[in-house]
Amino acid sequence: MDRKFTIDDEITRRYRTFGAVGTQLSVRLLPPSDDDDPVNLFVDSVNDLFDYALQNVSDNDMFGITIQHRENQNDKPIGTSFRRKNQ
């Protein structure tokens, strides 16, 4: 499958207090080609990322996402709060 992103880093942590395991992915979206619409490419890339991140997750597992520009820390991160996969 041709992904629209690359994985820069993947960290798995155990949260003993909550009895949970968390995985953090740092990804880089691929740049658009000359004939790509940037908005559609972004939406397709995020959908592709969701499919990848949720492939081995059960319906009751919690999932959240934060999008942040790594180089420009003045940009505020955006994202969704944690919720079950089936929501």
Query: Mean pLDDT per segment of 10 residues, for the chain of length 87 residues?
Result: 84 87 86 85 89 85 80 76 77
Alpha-carbon distance 82 to 48, whole Å? 19
Q: What is the pLDDT of residue 64?
A: 82
Burial 69-78 (b: 16+ CB within 10 A, else e): eeeeeeeeee
Q: What is the pLDDT of residue 15?
A: 85
Which residue in the block uniquely carries the two structure tokens 């934060």? 66
Claim: this prediction has a pTM higher than 0.75 = no
State which residues form the domain around 53: 5-84
Beta strands in 1-87 (DSSP E): 5-15, 20-29, 62-67, 78-84
Q: What is the pLDDT of residue 18?
A: 81
Q: What is the pLDDT of residue 75?
A: 75
- Give the chain's domain count: 1
Q: What is the pLDDT of residue 33?
A: 82
Which residue in the block uniquely carries the two structure tokens 């080609």? 33
Question: Does an H or E element contain 41, and which?
Answer: helix 38-53
Q: What is the pLDDT of residue 1?
A: 54
